[in-house]
């Protein structure tokens, strides 16, 4: 390190020293360089999205349904509402089951083999391609019956479960044991203590975990291709095909029309804003110390 002040060790030659310092500097340059190379596409993606998306956003985007090919204007109101419906179904299904699974691992299954297996399976399930989930839901709910909004919501809901289970577990494990002891010492039944004391103490973290899962499935396209299918018109019926923002972006991006490309960029910007806000919120809450009130 400090080559000039330290006397050289017995056998190390000065040139060797010099070489090592040069390699050290080269490694630093390489690390900084790779950081810059990684940041470049991110900045490019965000910059381009803001530039293209913002110039295409207008009131009509949020209030109108798509116009036929060749006509300008139109919006994605039906897709935004459709995504909302799909995400509502997904959350109704994924959030309770996911949180309950997390409670089991953290509160009832500590150091148990079964809990470890659940945790491991949840991690593995997290990495299963979403398109596979789409096929499974298709053969289960869609084949022979037709595309429905409900099946799309179920596919997204299943995808939320492993993420929420893992984050809930992590957040519950951060709650100090004293809090549980205090509750039990007052004679509160265990189930009551878990729900109103432990879960409540960890609730900021659990909620942000749910938002993270929400943000993740909000952008999912692949599982919706064969379940929700997409729709050019207004529909909020659970038994009909329904439009969704990511599906519509996919269709418009591959279309040959400039007008539709414009809408695709605007849709992508709306999606990204939703996701960035959730991620930022998660970081803000996590950085503040999830359990400040408790400890």
Partner 1 sequence: MVKSETQVPRVSSQADVTQRTESSLSPVPEPSPSPVRTYLLNCGSSALADRAFSILMMLCALSIFGIVLLILIELISGSKLTIQKFGPSFFFGSAWDPVNGDFGALPFIYGTVVSSVLSLIIAVPLAVGLAVFLTEMCPAWLRGFLGFFTELLAAIPSVVYGLWGIFVLIPLLRQYANPFLIKILGWSGIFVPPNYGIGMFAAGVILSIMILPIISSLTREVMSAVPHSQREAVLALGATRWEMIRMGVLRNARIGIVGAVILGLGRALGETMAVTMVIGNRPQIVRSLLAPAYSMASVIANEFNEASDPLNLSALIEIGLALFIVTIIVNALARVLVWAVTRGAPVRGT
Question: Among residue numbers 154 through 213, which ones bind partner 1 (CB under 8 A)?
Answer: 158, 161-163, 165-166, 169-170, 173, 177, 180-181, 184-191, 193-194
Chain residues 271-290 in contact with partner 1, contact rule CB under 8 A: 271-272, 275-276, 278-280, 283, 287
Chain residues 25-84 in contact with partner 1, contact rule CB under 8 A: 26-28, 30-35, 37-39, 41-42, 44-46, 48-49, 52
Q: Is 291 in the site for partner 1 (CB under 8 A)?
A: no
C-alpha to C-alpha distance for 136 and 1, rounded to whole angstroms: 58
Question: Between residues 62 and 120, which has the closer beta carbon with respect to partner 1?
Answer: 120
The DSSP result for 43-111, as a single string, is HHHHHHHHHHHHHH--HHHHH-PPPPTT------HHHHHHHHHHHHHHHHHHHHHHHHHHHIIIII-TT
User: What is the C-alpha R_g of the chain?
Assistant: 25
Q: Is 264 in the site for partner 1 (CB under 8 A)?
A: yes
Residue 154 CB, nearest approach to partner 1 (Å):
11
Q: Which residue's structure tokens are 């500590």?
A: 110
Stretch near partner 1 under the rule CB under 8 A, chosen from 62-70, 75-83, 95-103, 200-208:
95-103
Question: Between residues 45 and 69, which has the closer beta carbon with respect to partner 1?
Answer: 45
Residue 71 CB, nearest approach to partner 1 (Å):
22
C-alpha to C-alpha distance for 3 and 246, rounded to whole angstroms: 57
C-alpha to C-alpha distance for 110 and 182, rounded to whole angstroms: 19
Residue 191 CB, nearest approach to partner 1 (Å):
4
Stretch near partner 1 under the rule CB under 8 A, chosen from 55-63, 66-74, 83-91, 217-225:
217-225
Question: Between residues 44 and 69, which has the closer beta carbon with respect to partner 1?
Answer: 44
Q: Which residue's structure tokens are 């893992």?
A: 166
Answer for which of 16, 55, 139, 239 binds partner 1 (CB under 8 A) is 139
Stretch near partner 1 under the rule CB under 8 A, chosen from 65-73, 75-83, 224-232, 235-243:
224-232
Q: Is 259 in the site for partner 1 (CB under 8 A)?
A: no
Phi-psi category of 8—alpha, beta or left, where left has phi over 0 and alpha has psi -120 to 50?
beta
Chain residues 96-135 in contact with partner 1, contact rule CB under 8 A: 96-98, 100-101, 103-105, 107-110, 114-115, 117-118, 120-133, 135
Total interface residues for partner 1 by CB under 8 A? 113
Residue 90 CB, nearest approach to partner 1 (Å):
14
**CB atoms near residue 40 (< 10 Å):** 10
Give the contacts of 148 (CB within 8 A, at least 6 positions apart).
141, 142, 227, 228, 238, 239, 240, 241, 242
DSSP code for 231: -
Residue 165 CB, nearest approach to partner 1 (Å):
7
Q: Is 225 in the site for partner 1 (CB under 8 A)?
A: yes
For residue 242, the SS3 value is strand
For residue 229, the SS3 value is strand
Structure tokens at 95: 């959030």
């Amino acid at each position: 390190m400090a080559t000039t002040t330290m006397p050289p060790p017995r056998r190390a030659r000065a040139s060797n020293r010099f070489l090592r310092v040069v390699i050290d500097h080269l490694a630093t340059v390489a690390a900084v360089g790779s950081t810059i190379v990684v940041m470049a596409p991110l900045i490019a993606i965000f910059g381009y999205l803001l530039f293209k998306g913002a110039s295409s956003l207008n009131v009509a985007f949020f209030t109108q349904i798509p116009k036929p090919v060749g006509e300008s204007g139109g919006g994605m109101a039906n897709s935004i509402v459709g995504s909302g419906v799909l995400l509502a179904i997904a959350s109704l299904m994924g959030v309770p089951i996911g949180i309950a699974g997390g409670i089991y691992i953290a509160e009832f299954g500590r150091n148990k083999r079964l809990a470890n297996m659940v945790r491991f399976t949840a991690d593995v399930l997290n990495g299963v391609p979403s398109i596979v989930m789409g096929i499974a839901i298709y053969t289960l709910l869609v084949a022979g019956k037709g595309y429905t909004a409900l099946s799309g919501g179920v596919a997204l809901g299943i995808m939320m479960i492993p993420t929420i289970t893992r984050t809930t577990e992590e957040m519950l494990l951060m709650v100090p044991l004293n809090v549980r002891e205090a509750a039990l010492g007052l004679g509160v039944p265990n189930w009551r203590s878990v729900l109103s004391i432990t879960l409540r103490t960890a609730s900021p973290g659990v909620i942000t975990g749910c938002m993270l899962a929400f943000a993740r499935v909000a952008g999912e396209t692949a599982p919706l291709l064969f379940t929700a299918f997409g729709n050019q018109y207004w529909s909020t019926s659970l038994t009909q095909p329904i439009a969704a923002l990511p599906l519509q972006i996919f269709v418009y991006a591959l279309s040959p029309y400039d007008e539709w490309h414009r809408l695709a960029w605007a849709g992508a910007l709306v999606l990204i804003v939703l996701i960035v806000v959730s991620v930022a919120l998660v970081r803000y809450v996590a950085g503040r110390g999830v359990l400040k009130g408790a400890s």
